Amino acid sequence: MYQQVKGLKELPLEEPLSPGHRLCPGCGASVVVRQILLAAPSDVVVVNATGCLEVSTALYGYSAWNRPWIHSAFENAAAVASGVEAGFKALARRGEGQEHPIIVFGGDGGTYDIGIQALSGAMERGHRFLYVCYDNEAYMNTGIQRSGGTPRGAWTTTTQAGSARAGKTEAKKDLMSIVVAHHVPYAATASISHWRDLMNKVRKALSMNGPTFLHVMAPCMRGWRFDGSKTIRMSRLAVQTRLFPLYEVEGGVYRITVPVPSPKPLEEFLKSQGRYSHLFLPQNATELEAVKRDVETNYGRIERMSLFTAQTPGSASA
Partner 1 sequence: MSWKELEEAAVVKGGTSAGYIVSGWRVKRPVIDEAKCTNCLICWIYCPEPAIVRREGAKVAIDYDHCKGCGICETECPPKAISMVREP
Partner 2 sequence: MTQTQTSTVAALQGDEAVAEAVRQCDVDVVAAYPITPQTIIVEKLAEFVADGRFKGEFIPVESEHSAMSACVGAAATGARVFTATSSQGLAYMHEMLYNASGMRLPIVMAVANRALSAPLVLNADHGDMMGSRDSGWIQVYAENVEEVYDRTIQLFKLSEDPRVMLPSTISFEGFIISHDKERVRLLDEGAIKRFLGRPAPKHRLDPKDPLTFGAIANPDNYFEFRMQQAEAMKNVLKVFREVEDGFEAFSGRRYGAVDSYNTEKADRIVVANGCSAGTMRAAARALNAGGEKVGVLTIRLYRPFPADEVVACLRNAKAVVTMDRSFSLGAPSGPIAEDVKSALKGASLDTPVMSVVYGIGGRDLSVEDGRRIFDMAKDSSSFGATQVLYGVKG
Q: Which residues bind partner 1 (CB under 8 A)?
A: 8-9, 11, 13, 15, 17-28, 30-31, 34-35, 38, 57-69, 192, 195, 227-233
**Cα–Cα nearest to 77, from 50, 40, 43, 100:** 50
Q: How far is C-alpha 124 from the chain's CA centre?
A: 20
Among partner 1, partner 2, none, the one that 91 touches (CB under a kind-dependent 5 to 8 A) is: partner 2
3-state helix, strand, coil in the chain (%, to 5): 40, 15, 40
- CA 44, CA 294: separation in Å to the nearest integer? 37
Residue 309 in contact with partner 2, rule: CB under 8 A: no
Stretch 37-66: interaction string toward partner 2, x if CB under 8 A:
-----xxxx-x------xx--xxxx-x-xx
Query: Which entry of partner 1, partner 2, none binds 34, CB below 5 to 8 A by partner kind?
Result: partner 1
Task: Write the secondary structure of 142-210 as one string of H (helix), E (strand) and C (coil).
Answer: CCCECCCCCCCCCCECCECECCCCECCCCCCCCHHHHHHCCCCCEEEEEECCCHHHHHHHHHHHHCCCC
| Closest CB to partner 1 among residues 9, 94 | 9
Rounded to 5 degrees, what angle do the CA atoms 212, 46, 235 make?
Answer: 65
* Contact partner at residue 285 from partner 1, partner 2, none, CB < 5 to 8 Å by partner kind: none
Considering only residues 97 through 126, tell me which ones interact with partner 2, judged by CB under 8 A.
97, 100, 117-118, 120-121, 124-125
Q: At its nearest, how many Å lie between partner 1 and the CB of residue 11?
A: 8
Q: How far is the CB of 286 from partner 1 (least distance, A)?
A: 34
- Give the residue from 133, 167, 163, 162 showing the smallest Cα distance to 150: 167
Residues that bind partner 2 in the complex, under the rule CB under 8 A: 42-45, 47, 54-55, 58-61, 63, 65-73, 75-76, 79-91, 93-94, 96-97, 100, 117-118, 120-121, 124-125
